[in-house]
Amino acid sequence: MRTVELRGEERLSKKDLARTGALPREVMDSAQAIVDDVRERGDVAVREYCQRFDGACPSEFRVPDEVVRGALDMVDPEFLSSLRKAYDQIRDFHEREREQSWFTTKPDGTILGVKVTPVPSVAVYVPGGRAQYPSTVLMDTIPAKVAGVPRVVMVTPPQRDGSLSAYTLAAAAVAGVDEVYAVGGAQAIGAVAYGTESIPAVSKVVGPGNAYVAAAKRYVSGDVGIDMVAGPSEVCVLADATADPAIVAADLMAQAEHDPMAACYLVTDDATLPDRVFPAIEALVSQSPREEITRASLDGKGLCVACDSLDAAIDAVNLIAPEHLELHCADAFSLLGRIQNAGAIFVGPWSSEPLGDYVAGPNHTLPTGGTALFSNPLGVYDFQKRSSVIGYTPEGLLADAPAVQALAQAEGLWAHALSVGMRRKLLAEGGDNFADVTEACADAMQTAWPRKLEEPGRPVLSGYESR
């Protein structure tokens, strides 16, 4: 791990993080070409890309329901009971996020409110490459189901022998996925975003994937909704002198083993801790079945930030804005209010980050790459739409119309003012409809702008020179 030492008033900078940021141009171009081709040629294009990139393509993309349900009998009973425990706890947490429509009535009878409606359909992308992720199926499907999404489909790539992960399919059965399609990569994103002959389009696409999947999601965003453009996984451990170095080492490795590009940060105000953590990492990583991936991550993307004060350490954490943050500190809950930017916060030495990955309840689909500065974990709210509801009475219109007309006049939008002015005129006439439309339309300028606003002054910037 690379080390940055901060002394006195020194603070961590974005340059110290050396984040690469946006997806490479060549990846974006390639993903865009694939999506465009799928949009144009449908199933034929999807089949070609599946053969090229996955080395396998089923005769039918739709996985039969009996195959999905049959996976429940193919997995170890302990795994299945663990899966159901995770399902129950994830669902219980997300039930608390559900938003309800609400309405309020003003004294003049005007009704204002918000109508909450589920998104019509969602596709959950589940990777099938380096590892199997049944937990992702639960995390991305359950909040959609709690939100009331009527159609949730899953896309996941087959292996070269044409098989699918029994773990992934069992999770789909437990979570209540409605349709499963054996297709992955950018071609899967194009298929669910725009639809093909055999894969109906959806309204929103969620779930993690490789750089090409992320690039494809970014490209289709706007035509369909997406959750986020997720980058490699990351963890930040904020640790003081009370932290156990072996536990800290294991927690850093828990993210490093995901991907050679996974980012691991150790931030500490204890000068001796790094020299105790690094040997523990070496002792543990040599025993890991994923040693090569873990070492690549820690060596290439690992960063230790050594501070001489807790204030500097917390500032560093907030700059990093990590996907996962662990607080290995004395009285860790007292620090919670000072943490501004993190996807998920694991408080205290017993709050292992993998608990959040699998069973705790909060979602593990989290903002990465510093986007916790402005983004949220996936939740029920991502699968619900909000429509403002505005219902005026005549009394309410008369109370608010003059303000509308004045503001519309200031913005030069005459017909905006006319729209409410005509209603004022109708109310003055006393009927439900104008007796004479021609007469009603006469003198429309006066109807729209009954009073001309005074010309405003002109604020002038000092020292400004014009050409």
Q: Give Cα 401 to chain centroid, integer Å.
A: 40
Question: For residues 188 and 125, is the Cβ–Cβ distance under 8 A?
Answer: yes
Query: Can you give the pLDDT at residue 129?
Result: 65
Residue located via tokens 């003059």: 402
Q: In the numeric block, which tokens belong to residue 349?
A: 């030495």
Asked if the structure places residue 385 within a domain, the reply is no
Helix (H), strand (E) at residue 356? helix 353-358
| Contacts (Cβ under 8 Å, ≥6 apart) of 463 | none
Question: DSSP letters of 198-215?
Answer: SS---SEEE----HHHHH
Supply the pLDDT for residue 160. Answer: 86
Residue 98 burial (10 A CB sphere; 0-12, 13-18, 19+): middle
End of a domain among 226, 254, 285? 226
**Phi, psi angles (nearest 5°) of residue 138:** -65, -50
Same-domain check for residues 299 and 424? no
Q: Is 8 inside a domain boundary?
A: no
Q: In this structure, are 198 and 246 located in the same domain?
A: no
> Which positions are catalytic?
323-324
Residue 381 falls within a domain, yes or no?
no
Per-residue pLDDT of the chain (467 residues; tens, 9 = 90+): 999 999 999 999 999 998 877 688 999 999 999 999 999 999 999 999 999 998 878 999 999 999 999 999 999 999 999 999 999 999 999 999 999 999 999 999 999 999 999 999 999 999 986 678 999 999 999 999 999 999 999 999 998 888 999 999 999 999 999 999 999 999 999 999 999 999 999 999 999 999 999 999 999 999 999 999 988 899 999 999 999 999 999 999 999 999 899 999 999 999 999 999 999 999 999 999 999 999 999 999 999 999 999 999 999 999 999 999 999 999 999 999 999 999 999 999 999 999 999 999 999 999 999 999 999 999 999 999 999 999 999 999 999 999 999 999 999 999 999 999 999 999 999 989 999 999 999 999 999 999 999 999 999 898 887 76
Sheet containing strand 384-391, edge to edge, reads 102-105, 111-118, 384-391
Quote the tokens at residue 330.
């004395």
Tokens of 430: 């006393």
- Whole-number Å distance between alpha carbons of 187 and 35: 6
The parent domain of residue 439 ranges over: 393-448
Q: How many CB atoms lie within 10 A of CB 440?
A: 16
Residues β-bridged to residue 324: 235, 344
Residue type, 285: V
Looking at the fold, whether 198 and 59 belong to one and the same domain comes out as yes
* 200 and 153 in a common domain: yes
Residue type, 43: D
Q: Which DSSP state fits 118?
A: E
Contact status, residue 209 vs residue 127, Cβ threshold 8 Å: yes
What is the domain-level CATH number for residue 271?
A: 3.40.50.1980
Q: 336: number of CA atoms within 13 Å, CB side? A: 9
134 domain-assigned: yes
Quick check: is 433 in a domain? yes
**What pLDDT shows up at residue 20?**
79
In a domain, 426, yes or no: yes
Which of 226, 251, 286 represents a domain boundary (last residue)?
A: 226
* Residues 91 and 218 both lie in one domain: yes
CA distance 65 to 201: 19
Of 234, 262, 247, 255, the C-alpha closest to 329 is 247
CA distance 409 to 342: 45
Q: Specify the amino acid at residue 19.
A: R
Q: Are 164 and 156 within 8 A, CB to CB?
A: yes
Distance CA 55, CA 33 (A): 20
d(Cα 298, Cα 285) in Å, to the nearest integer? 10
Q: Same structural domain for residues 363 and 414?
A: no
- Give me the count of residues in the chain: 467
Q: Are 116 and 101 in contact (CB under 8 A)?
A: yes
Q: Please tell me whether residues 190 and 264 are part of one structural domain.
A: no
Q: What is the pLDDT of residue 159?
A: 87
Tokens of 221: 């965003």
CA–CA dist 176, 149 (Å, integer): 11
Q: Mark whether 437 and 342 lie in a shared domain.
A: no
165-196 in b/e form (b: 16+ CB < 10 A) is bbbbbbbbbbbebbbbbbbbbbbbbbbbbbeb
Kindly state whether residues 52 and 97 are assigned to the same domain: yes
Tell me, yes or no, whether 14 lies in a domain: no
Both 157 and 235 in a single domain? no
> How many domains does the chain fold into?
3
- Residues 50, 180 within the same domain: yes
Question: What pLDDT score was predicted for residue 308?
Answer: 93
218 and 261 housed in the same domain? no
- Residue 432 included in any domain: yes
Report the alpha-carbon distance of residue 171 to residue 173 in Å, rounded.
5
